[in-house]
Amino acid sequence: MDKLLEVKKTVTALMAALSAFLGWMGWLVVLYAVSMGIDYLTGSALAAKNGDWQSQKAREGLWHKAGSILAVIVAALADFLLGLVLKNLPLRLPFTYTVLLCPVVLVWYILTEMGSIVENVGEMGAKVPAFLKNIIAVLHTGVEESGDKLVGKK
């Protein structure tokens, strides 16, 4: 019992530190990590259910997730670079720039993972409300369009 209490205290302390360090964006990071974990578990469960679980495919899934983590890190670095440049150039924006790219990229990945989770549980036999699938798709499209507007597309 003491071991479980120590684990709970450690997890709580880590979440508090992350929240203090990253603020609201820290919660996006937590949601992203949880979504990735659930997607990996549901994908593995579906493959096992279908008798198709293979360690090679599981490793490929992990490499895919590692690549997406690196994309989030690149977005965070780009935000940092943009903030640094804006802070040191003699130009003023009508708002204070803190972050822009990383939250959009995180939300895009979170919605991608959620869509995959819903697809996995549906294929495992769970009845998934159509409106849940639709709202995830609508939100994903909205984030995609917002990202396109940032770079002048559409």
pLDDT tens digits along 51-91: 999 999 999 999 999 999 999 999 999 999 999 998 888 88
Domain boundaries, the chain: 23-150
Distances (CA, A) of 13 to 6, 8, 31, 41, 49: 10, 9, 17, 25, 37
Tell me what percent of the residues of the chain surpass a pLDDT of 70.
99
Measure the CA–CA gap between 117 and 25, rounded to whole angstroms.
22
Outline where DSSP puts E strands in 28-110.
none
Query: Which residues, 6 or more positions from 138, have their beta carbon under 8 angstroms from its beta carbon?
Result: none
